[in-house]
Structure 1
Amino acid sequence: MPPPLNTPKKPFHIAVCGGGIGGLCTTIGLLHQGISCTLYESAPAFAEIGAGVSIGPNALRALTLLDPGLSAGYEAIATGNADESKRRFWFEFNLGMKEGAWAESGRGLKAPGKEGERIAGVECGDRGQESVHRAHFLDVLVKRVPEGLARFGKRVERVERVGGKMVLGFEDGSSEEADAVIGCDGVKSVTRRILLGEDSEVLNPTFSHKYAYRGLVPMEKAVEAVGDALARNAQQYLGHHGHVLTFPIEKGKTMNVVAFQNKDGDWEDERWVLPMKREDMINDFAGWGESVQKILSLMENPDIWALFDHPPAPTYYKGRLAILGDAAHASTPHQGAGAGQAIEDAYILTHLLGKINCVEDIEDAFRAYDHVRRLRTQKVVVTSREAARLYEFEDETIGTDLDLLKKNLETRYSWIWDEDLLQQLKTAQDMMGLKSNL
């Protein structure tokens, strides 16, 4: 299927602020709906930081509904578990700490089992854990956007309504007009600030009291260290106040590693991504098992990420300004659902805009989008924090009871993965008084 053309059929123009996954998916969706749009990106070129990003069944459905032509590009870069017997698994969960380390980490906390013990295997649809390298996924999306539609070096500073138009002011002193603005400018979003106002109590992202070491390991080295089964299939190693996850990316050529730790108090550095001191990581995971120690020792060019998320916003739109993705509901990564929620947002919002035929109805589309998306996306943020506490044996209800933990892990994600997006769109269309032809 060829990429969508920039051949507008609707009598309005949309400005999209931000060229990450959410912004690109929104732009692609608008083009498919025959809506004129311009994408404004603050960087000099499209770019993503980080390595692996999970795509759950819900995210893949949203991607296909958004643009069926994305499927081939996605399939070319998606990586799942290597073993056919583990193809449907999202992650296998194992105890990662040595028995003696539990008492030291938790004031005499008793180890719930032996290091390496399997807690649960969580199945996820027909395809299980699937991940893509962020940069490669961005390339797939960029190829679906007509050349010349994106404007680079455009960091938005203000958005205001002037007469019948929305006027965007940029850091370089330039300004542009549009009939509506969609903010996809990430966790440090300027459009969120404009929408909610400087005095909003839920304006800024909050530190989740977790940070993560992220890095990559060549698969050959990973296999040599921990064996085929652990290296080539998605694993999580759980311990008190920390957990480590690994999964294959780049068609099995590379193991992606993320090692999480708890932090009391605030994050004091204004930078959220820092070069890592290897001795800090070694100290953080002293007392963990052999598999974890070997994996961490092999990480190439690791860095440390502070994990922030957004408190719940009271609305995702105001007039003809809307926000989506991380600008609306930045989440921690503990359920692998952040990118998927941005893709879902883009599908719903662009299809609602595709159902209207005049500028005056844009706000109705934004209102319906807010109605069907806000509660679901904010629940993802809350339950993601809860998931981290679960993985790290900080949940007071479950504690170190492995049977209760297993039951929770096997059931907690289905509401994310099994969402009926067509029904969600129908609900939004009904709210707008539109006939559904889904």
Structure 2
Amino acid sequence: MGDMQQNSPIGQENDSLQPRLEVSIVGGGIIGVITALGLLHRGMHVTIYERVEKFEEVGAAIAFTGVARECMQRLNPSVLEALARVGRSSPHERQRYWDGFHPRTKESAMQEESSLLFDVPEGDLAYWACLRSHFLNGMVGLLPEGTVQFGKQVVNYTEGGGSDKVVLHFADGTTAGADVVIGCDGIHSATRKLLLGKGHPASNPTYTHKTFFRALVPFPGALAALGADKANDCCIHVGPDAHVISFPTNDGKMYNIFIATHDPQEWSDPYTMTAMSTREELSSALQSWGPHIAEIIGLLPENIIKYGAFDMAENPAPTYASGRVCVAGDAAHASSPFHGAGACMGVEDALVLAELLGHVQSLPVSARPRCLSAALQTYSAVRIERTQWLVQSSRDICDIYQWRYHGTGEDSAKCKAEFDWRGKKIGHFDVDAMVAESRTEYEKLAASAVH
């Protein structure tokens, strides 16, 4: 296990006689571990409680924007170093959008002048892509021994009642106390249900009426289907009621395929976001698309998993914090995957929380409970508008891909305009301003809390 660097919050001295702030993180996924590393870097005592018996991340790809990487650097440089070891940036300056529907031959599909609809600057988002499991495993190696406790499923928490700690109650009958609790336990967050109340509309996500399929295949198959130009780039094919995003990963050895389709039906089981499907079912859904797309589908295994895309667009959470408990990442603002920026929002969340909790740690112990509540309320206020915009925009972007968006249809110029401004909103984001706003708002709330 690596030793963690520690630093003092900006502009404040870290009194070594002050006890460290104790933070419990519920959930050991990517955002939970990133948040933990950011807090450890600021000298806090962190424990991650994970309900499963070991770290688990599926082998699918994930990508992080330039903004997210800036946040990683500020959280803890080791996080960005871990990403750099497994991530790959696009070698192209522009992200290209192709017509996946009209080309009738593979040769016409490979001709830029006939099937390229438009492109947008890659620098707007500046993605680095990697495998989720590779990134998570790299970060786990940075955690001090004993940071993670497995087999701990949260069933309740209590705050107050004569205790100066927030007490987590687990399914195995044990408890654990901390100064503050951060729920990073994903789209079906138990922490969110407890914070808002199980009957609250935002306690559970809703179906977006989109399904998606994803797979990693050997790179040579993609090269044969798409040609060298497309196969070596992030390639986005759009068309009626479906879209295909594909790109090389794992240093170009593997090829990531993501195919989404519109589904007018209801999802059969809202508590299970996956169902078994077949390559034939997917092929049938895109049977009128071009032959190159048929070849891409042919690379998938015969039996595949179908994912239902759920999010919190219909019932956004009214707050991400209550008292000394908050939620972050998907637990706060679960998004569909179509913008490819949901995890990036979680990294931004982590930076705001780390900065604010770093301020609180410098305070006398007696002042911390009130100021912790102020810090978490500030975090919620600063993050809620941007993150909930992303959740709705991710739905919109999928409809634009699938020629279902009322403002664009099949019009390439209108689609490009939508991609342009939405991409800039995600990628041209002032991290310094976010941190400054959080500090200003926190100081206002903390001053009123003290008085």
Q: TM-score, normalised by structure 1?
A: 0.90
Secondary structure of 1:251 counterpart: coil
Q: Which residue of 2 aligns with 1:75?
A: 84
Question: 5 Å matches for 1:365-384?
Answer: 365-384=375-394
Q: Which residue of 1 aligns with 2:449?
A: none
Shift of 1:244: 0.6
Instruction: Provide the rounded CA distance (Å) in 2 between the counterparts of 1:335 and 1:127.
Output: 11
Question: 5 Å matches for 1:26-425?
Answer: 26-82=35-91, 86=92, 88-89=93-94, 91-98=95-102, 117-125=115-123, 128-161=126-159, 162-163=161-162, 164-269=164-269, 270-300=271-301, 302-310=304-312, 311-356=315-360, 357=363, 358=365, 359-360=368-369, 361-425=371-435
Instruction: Provide the rounded CA distance (Å) in 2 between the counterparts of 1:204 and 1:249.
Output: 33
* 8 Å contact from structure 1 (residues 213, 276) kept in 2: no
Shift of 1:71: 2.8
Instruction: Provide the rounded CA distance (Å) in 1 between the counterparts of 2:277 and 2:6.
Output: 44
Shift of 1:275: 2.9
Instruction: Assess, with a 3 A threshold, how the Cα gap between structure 1 residues 221 and 3 changes in structure 2: closer, same or farther.
Output: farther
Secondary structure of 2:203 counterpart: coil
Shift of 1:217: 1.5
Q: Which moved more, 1:178-187 or 1:45-54?
A: 45-54
Q: 1:23 aligns with which of 29, 32, 40?
A: 32
* 8 Å contact from structure 2 (residues 89, 128) kept in 1: yes
Shift of 1:248: 1.2
* 8 Å contact from structure 1 (residues 231, 247) kept in 2: yes
Deviations 1:156-192 (A, max 9, x none): 1111114222111111121111121110000000000
Deviations 1:13-37 (A, max 9, x none): 1110000011101111111111112
- Amino acid in the other structure paired with 2:309: L
Q: How many residues align?
A: 415
Instruction: Provide the rounded CA distance (Å) in 2 between the counterparts of 1:6 and 1:261.
Output: 46
Shift of 1:294: 0.8
Instruction: Provide the rounded CA distance (Å) in 2 between the counterparts of 1:325 and 1:230.
Output: 32
Secondary structure of 1:177 counterpart: strand
Shift of 1:299: 2.0
* 8 Å contact from structure 1 (residues 129, 234) kept in 2: no
Deviations 1:72-93 (A, max 9, x none): 32212112334xxx2x33x311
Shift of 1:69: 2.1
* 8 Å contact from structure 1 (residues 80, 128) kept in 2: yes
Instruction: Assess, with a 3 A threshold, how the Cα gap between structure 1 residues 159 and 127 changes in structure 2: closer, same or farther.
Output: closer
- Structure 1 regions of 5+ residues with no counterpart? 101-113
Instruction: Provide the rounded CA distance (Å) in 1 between the counterparts of 2:24 and 2:89.
Output: 36
Instruction: Assess, with a 3 A threshold, how the Cα gap between structure 1 residues 12 and 406 changes in structure 2: closer, same or farther.
Output: closer
Instruction: Provide the rounded CA distance (Å) in 2 between the counterparts of 1:238 and 1:415.
Output: 22
Q: TM-score, normalised by structure 2?
A: 0.88
* 8 Å contact from structure 1 (residues 55, 131) kept in 2: yes
Instruction: Assess, with a 3 A threshold, how the Cα gap between structure 1 residues 126 and 262 changes in structure 2: closer, same or farther.
Output: closer
Q: Which moved more, 1:187-196 or 1:263-272?
A: 263-272
Secondary structure of 1:145 counterpart: coil
Secondary structure of 2:404 counterpart: coil
* 8 Å contact from structure 1 (residues 274, 303) kept in 2: yes
Q: Which moved more, 1:155-164 or 1:330-339?
A: 155-164
* 8 Å contact from structure 1 (residues 326, 342) kept in 2: yes
Instruction: Provide the rounded CA distance (Å) in 2 between the counterparts of 1:143 and 1:92.
Output: 36
Instruction: Provide the rounded CA distance (Å) in 2 between the counterparts of 1:376 and 1:127.
Output: 16
- Amino acid in the other structure paired with 2:290: G
Q: Which residue of 2 aligns with 1:107?
A: none
Shift of 1:302: 3.6
- Amino acid in the other structure paired with 1:155: Q
- Amino acid in the other structure paired with 2:348: E
**RMSD of aligned C-alpha atoms?**
2.1
